């Protein structure tokens, strides 16, 4: 029997796929014909072309598989992608898990996000039991991941042997899309004029991929596991980046209302900026929070062990240099 990976051509999905191949799994991937395959070229995987929004192609890919890693998803903070996120993140998850249920898989791992977990007041880290407040934020990406996780939990109730993992912000080598690792690249290019209040949690893509395999091996069905690393303010992150790269950090603190006004005007007049760079309204809305999380459950039950943040930043910067981004 084979292991199916959705989202295998994505940044995190390609790391998961590589780890599965290294483990010796017979791996099948579902991908679109237009997908960028640079991160999986050379890997011994079977390719089935289709899309998570097309349940017929999902069923075809699932046929003969007894294990599933559903890592496909759309991360965006742009208003133009709102409808697409609903289609991919919510309806796509329903399609994939429906096909998995029909196929009788023995274990499924769903890649959710810490975005689907509620935040605690101030800087107190949230955990898997922190309730999500649907009225706390109107950021569409966060809402779509929460709705997708509800879909996943409904399938658990139906009997699907599913484990949910909730990664924090994933960075690392191999981010050919300059997605979530973009903050490291734009820092190195000196395109970040200043910092705002708020905090984040960054984790290495390879560690998260390993965490997925651990979730399949050791995770309890119906449980959620936060795959995160170090909680850090934006100011502290810039201090770490300065230490690792030698590039002076921006010392200007930008008030929230100015950052919001700038993002609003940028969207209004159609200024294009790379995704994951805080020049859109939804990114600014999220920046005022402290996205702090407690990974102790994953550490204790799965053996999850993320590497130091400094090591991840160093390897990310080196990858960008080696591949011509810097």
Cβ atoms of 125 and 231 within 8 Å: the answer is yes
The bridge status of strand 2-6 relative to strand 27-31 is parallel
**Alpha-carbon 300 to chain mean position:** 22
> What's the sign of the alpha-carbon dihedral 34, 87, 164, 172?
positive
Q: Show the CA angle centred on residue 12, arms to residues 207 and 206, nearest 5°.
A: 20
Closest to 226 (Cα-Cα) out of 292, 143, 272, 309: 292
For residues 35 and 48, give the distance between their C-alpha atoms in angstroms, rounded to a whole number.
12
**Alpha-carbon 219 to chain mean position:** 19
Cβ atoms of 93 and 145 within 8 Å: the answer is no
**Alpha-carbon 259 to chain mean position:** 24
* Residues with a known catalytic role: 141
Cβ atoms of 95 and 55 within 8 Å: the answer is yes
The tokens describing 172, both together, are: 């690392």
For residues 253 and 211, give the distance between their C-alpha atoms in angstroms, rounded to a whole number.
35
Conformation bin of residue 274: beta by default, left when phi > 0, alpha when psi is -120 to 50: beta
């Amino acid at each position: 029997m084979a292991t199916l990976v959705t989202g295998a051509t994505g940044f995190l999905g390609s790391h998961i796929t590589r780890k599965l191949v290294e483990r010796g799994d017979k791996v099948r991937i579902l991908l679109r014909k237009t997908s960028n395959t640079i991160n999986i070229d050379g890997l011994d995987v079977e390719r089935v072309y289709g899309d998570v929004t097309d349940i017929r192609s999902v069923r075809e890919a699932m046929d003969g598989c007894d294990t599933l890693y559903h890592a496909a998803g759309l991360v965006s903070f742009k208003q133009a992608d709102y409808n697409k996120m609903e289609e991919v993140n919510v309806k796509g998850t329903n399609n994939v898990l429906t096909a998995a249920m029909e196929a009788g898989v023995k274990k499924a791992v769903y890649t959710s996000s810490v975005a689907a977990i509620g935040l605690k007041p101030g800087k107190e880290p949230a955990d898997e039991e922190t309730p999500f407040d649907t009225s706390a934020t109107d950021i569409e990406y966060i809402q779509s991941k929460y709705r997708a996780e509800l879909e996943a939990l409904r399938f658990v109730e139906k009997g699907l042997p599913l484990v949910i993992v909730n990664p924090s912000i994933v960075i690392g080598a191999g981010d050919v899309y300059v997605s979530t690792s973009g903050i490291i690249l734009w820092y190195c290019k000196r395109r970040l004029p200043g910092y705002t209040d708020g905090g984040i949690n960054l984790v290495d893509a390879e560690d998260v991929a390993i965490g997925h395999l651990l979730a399949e091996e050791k995770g309890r069905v119906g449980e959620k596991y936060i795959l995160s690393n170090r909680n850090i303010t934006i100011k502290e992150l810039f201090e770490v980046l300065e230490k690792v790269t030698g590039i002076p950090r921006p010392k200007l603190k930008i008030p929230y209302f100015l950052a919001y006004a700038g993002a609003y005007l940028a969207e209004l007049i159609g200024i294009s900026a790379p995704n994951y760079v805080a020049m859109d309204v939804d990114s600014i809305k999220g920046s005022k929070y402290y996205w702090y999380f407690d990974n102790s459950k994953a550490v204790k039950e799965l053996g999850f062990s993320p590497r130091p943040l400094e090591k991840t930043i160093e390897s990310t910067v080196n990858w960008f240099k080696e591949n011509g981004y810097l």
